[in-house]
Structure 1
Amino acid sequence: MLATCVVQPMDLVKTRMQLMGPAGKNASTGGVIRDILKAEGLFGFYTGLSAGLFRQATYTTGRMGVFNSLFEYYKKNYGVPSFPMKIWMGVVAGGMGAFVGTPAEVALIRMTADGRLPPDKRRNYKNVFNALGRMAREEGITSLWRGATATITRAMVVNAAQLGTYAQSREALLPSMGEGISLHFCASMISGFITSACSLPVDIVKTRVQNAAKGTGQVAVLMGVIKNEGVLALWSGFLPTYAKIGPHTVLTFLFMEQLNSLYFKMA
């Protein structure tokens, strides 16, 4: 949640770019930032922050808790897990966390996308709980899990890349760098880059499925993007994605490592 407070602006920019479709084929990150500043002001970059924080409190808490539990269990009973086993642990953790966090994810996508809609079509959710309540009342309780399959697919890819590569990078760099913030920073930046490259295609599909007014299949969305915008459109918004995932990964693991250290000193 602390990390999200820092990277929320780039997450909003990334979402806006992913929803532009063919019209935004030549849009630049700088241009999108200028448009948001002009239309919504500086605080416009923090639209949907409550949903972003609620998402971290559900999805990220779940995925990291499951991954760490699996890692410690395996290490205790079978020794240090191999890289493929770390990837598999990330897949399981991501899928479980994503199911719990999908309602917050849907609310976040809608709230961050609202500013690009015409005033008469905006949903104008007041906060994440208002968004969840209105979706349940106006569209049915199942709308809270709209795009759940796409969300879980993305989460499996993201967590396999992020958690697996972080643990592997940390392990590989530890002998030469030693324990400390520098180690956590380098391992996090490696993890963030790989995660961005692997996750963008499924992230774009997930974003468009969840922002749709009616249920749309992820395969149909994927084929539509490729047909109408080209294959490279699946990596639209790579710069703001890495500008978000890179620092978010760094800050998340730095905070986690420091909180773990504090916990074990007090335990």
Structure 2
Amino acid sequence: MAAAACAMTSTSIVFNPLDVVKTKLQTQNQLSTDSSKRVYDGAVHCVRRVIKEDGFVKGLWAPGIVASVVRDICNGGIRMGLYPAAVRAVHAQVPWGEKQQAAPNFATRVLAGLLTGFSGALIGNPTDVIKVRLQAEAGTVANGVYITGLYKGQAPSPTTFSCLAELVSSGGWFRGVGANCARAALVTSGQMSAYDQTKRILEKQSATGPFQYEGVRIMTASFVSGVTAATVAAPVDLVRSRIMDDRQRPGQTAAYKNALDCAWRTVKAEGPFALWKGWVPSYLRLGPHFMVSLPLLEVLRTQVFGLGTM
């Protein structure tokens, strides 16, 4: 778990700007097809406008960074750190064949990823809520209100830990936990099972050619895991972001009743492909993120903590 927490935290700090862009695209212009109300016209436009108005550090890198680090210490450590143990535990319970001799199959790896992803998200949910909110609202503040970004004219949220205290007092500690756990379960299952299975397949082709080198197999498997995770989890990721950003201020009510209500109203108002809004920045974050974090995790496991490969 320590190796996974270190690997995830390090890469999250580096790729936080892409997470900010994804969150802004997912939470803007909700339940509307009126493009004139959009603040950002895509990932590239979002990056350019935020840097122009707020600067790279304040506008893209800093928002939600503390919450992201705290999240990955617990969430990332559980999701990835416990995955090998979860595979062994699930494999030990399979009711067919010579289970102790046979290697875990793909279904076992998928189920193990679902379990660790769900568990990590359940424990780290409050930090996810704060991260999404701070990333969505980020902008330049003047006279106590935002003058740029999606929340122009509104007062900014307090610091990360003040937001956590506010969540406790308002009863929003587990807001969006269903969508968050579903998203994390799908991401982890897609990420780890695709990575694991791709490595196993490439190992069988490793007698000659580039796949005879373990580093090449790890990098290829990391690429496949990023594409798989971003695609499978995109709809739930969007729902999660919108619910977590759906705050209840004094005199206001929540826009969505629950995750299913959010998904249904989004499809009804914006069309089914709206569920994949933010896929490009999501992949641009997850893809490079996995191509750094997974090899880093392998190095930490084998060279620092004296464990075997994933």
* TM-score calculated relative to the size of structure 1: 0.91
Greater shift, 152-161 or 185-194, is seen at 152-161
| Mapping for residues 246-265 of structure 1, pairs under 5 Å | 246-263=287-304, 265=306
Look up the match of 1:201: 235
Look up the match of 1:228: 269
Alpha-carbon distance in 2 for matches of 1:172, 1:25 = 45
**Distance of aligned partners of 1:50 and 1:25 in 2 relative to their CA distance in 1, 3 Å threshold:** closer
Look up the match of 1:16: 24
Look up the match of 1:45: 60
Letter in 2 for 1:241: S
CA contact (8 A) 1:25 1:229 kept: no
**Pick aligned residue for 1:244 from 265, 280, 285:** 285
Alpha-carbon distance in 2 for matches of 1:264, 1:50 = 26
Alpha-carbon distance in 2 for matches of 1:244, 1:41 = 20
Look up the match of 2:165: 133
Alpha-carbon distance in 1 for matches of 2:221, 2:214 = 11
Alpha-carbon distance in 1 for matches of 2:191, 2:203 = 18
The alignment-based identity, stated in percent, is 25
Look up the match of 1:159: 188
Alpha-carbon distance in 2 for matches of 1:156, 1:262 = 28
5+ long unaligned stretches in structure 2: 1-8, 93-98, 139-148, 249-253
Alpha-carbon distance in 2 for matches of 1:13, 1:96 = 26
CA contact (8 A) 2:12 2:69 kept: yes
5+ long unaligned stretches in structure 1: none
Letter in 2 for 1:42: F
**Pick aligned residue for 1:173 from 188, 202, 222:** 202
**Distance of aligned partners of 1:266 and 1:241 in 2 relative to their CA distance in 1, 3 Å threshold:** closer
Alpha-carbon distance in 2 for matches of 1:129, 1:182 = 41
Letter in 2 for 1:45: L
**Pick aligned residue for 1:150 from 149, 168, 179:** 179
* TM-score calculated relative to the size of structure 2: 0.79
CA contact (8 A) 1:55 1:105 kept: yes
**Pick aligned residue for 2:75 from 59, 78, 94:** 59
Alpha-carbon distance in 2 for matches of 1:209, 1:124 = 17
**Distance of aligned partners of 1:40 and 1:93 in 2 relative to their CA distance in 1, 3 Å threshold:** same
Look up the match of 1:106: 129
CA contact (8 A) 2:219 2:291 kept: yes
CA contact (8 A) 1:17 1:24 kept: no
Greater shift, 98-107 or 116-125, is seen at 116-125
Letter in 2 for 1:60: G
Look up the match of 1:124: 157
How far has the Cα of 1:159 moved from its partner? 1.4
Equivalenced residues, count: 263
CA contact (8 A) 2:243 2:259 kept: yes
Alpha-carbon distance in 1 for matches of 2:162, 2:40 = 35
Does residue 6 of structure 1 match 2:14? yes
How far has the Cα of 1:3 moved from its partner? 0.8
- Which one has the largest radius of gyration? 2
> After the TM superposition, which parts of structure 1 deviate over 6 Å for at least 4 consecutive aligned residues?
none
Letter in 1 for 2:185: M
Matched residue SS, 1:121? coil
Look up the match of 1:32: 46
How far has the Cα of 1:223 moved from its partner? 1.0
Greater shift, 25-34 or 35-44, is seen at 25-34
Alpha-carbon distance in 1 for matches of 2:19, 2:44 = 14
**Distance of aligned partners of 1:88 and 1:205 in 2 relative to their CA distance in 1, 3 Å threshold:** same
Look up the match of 1:86: 109
Matched residue SS, 1:125? coil
**Higher helix fraction: Structure 1 or Structure 2?**
1
**Distance of aligned partners of 1:105 and 1:35 in 2 relative to their CA distance in 1, 3 Å threshold:** same
